[in-house]
Amino acid sequence: MCFPAPWRVSASGANIRPAGHRGFTLLELMVVISVILVLLGLAAGNYQRSILRSKEAALKQNLFTMRQAIQQYTLDKLQAPQSLEDLVAAGYLREIPKDPITGQRDWRVEYDDAFLSPDQLATGISDVHSNSDKISPFEGTPYSSW
């Protein structure tokens, strides 16, 4: 078995390391810390991109759900909803979802004079979009155009 060399004490009482057991130099520590910082920077960038991708996926799902509810409401009631709150009041949505990009329930609604069915009596909301003016870095299009 190999045991480490015992510590020696100098005449002044300071511990002296045995020969061959030198510590890390300042340069070695700086290189190791630099590598760690670069890796942390890369990980933080990937984390931010994954957060934004999940927000975009949630936005697409929220838009799909609200568009389906608008269409179903219009076909069932023979008139388009006049506001998103009409969808909640009629039970087509539990609540108006938050826009994951803005963090608010501030959707941009689009009104149209087109009818979904020949029996439809009144027009109203035909589509919904995000109220954000930001542009998706992944698709290169404004969120408000989705």
DSSP one-letter string for 28-69: HHHHHHHHHHHHHHHHHHHHHHHHHHHHHHHHHHHHHHHHHH
Residue 9 lies in a domain: no
Is the pTM here over 0.75, yes or no? no
Count of domains forming the chain: 1
Residue 30 lies in a domain: no
According to the model, what pLDDT value does residue 116 have? 77
Using the predicted structure, report yes or no on whether residue 4 has a pLDDT greater than 60.
no
According to the model, what pLDDT value does residue 10 have? 60
Percent of the chain with pLDDT over 70: 85
Residue 134 lies in a domain: yes
Residue 87 lies in a domain: yes
* H or E segment to which residue 16 belongs: strand 15-16
Q: What is the mean pLDDT of residues 79-103?
A: 96
Residue 141 lies in a domain: yes
Residue 101 lies in a domain: yes
Using the predicted structure, report yes or no on whether residue 18 has a pLDDT greater than 70.
no
> What one-character-per-residue DSSP string does 76-118 give?
HHSB--SSHHHHHHTTS-SSPPP-TTTSSS--EEEEE---SST
- Read off the pLDDT of residues 30-60 as tens digits, 9 standing for 90 and up: 999 999 999 998 888 889 899 999 999 999 9
According to the model, what pLDDT value does residue 15 have? 60
Domain range for 58: 45-145
According to the model, what pLDDT value does residue 46 have? 86
How far apart, in Å, are the Cα atoms of 134 and each of 66, 67, 101, 137, 146?
21, 21, 8, 9, 12
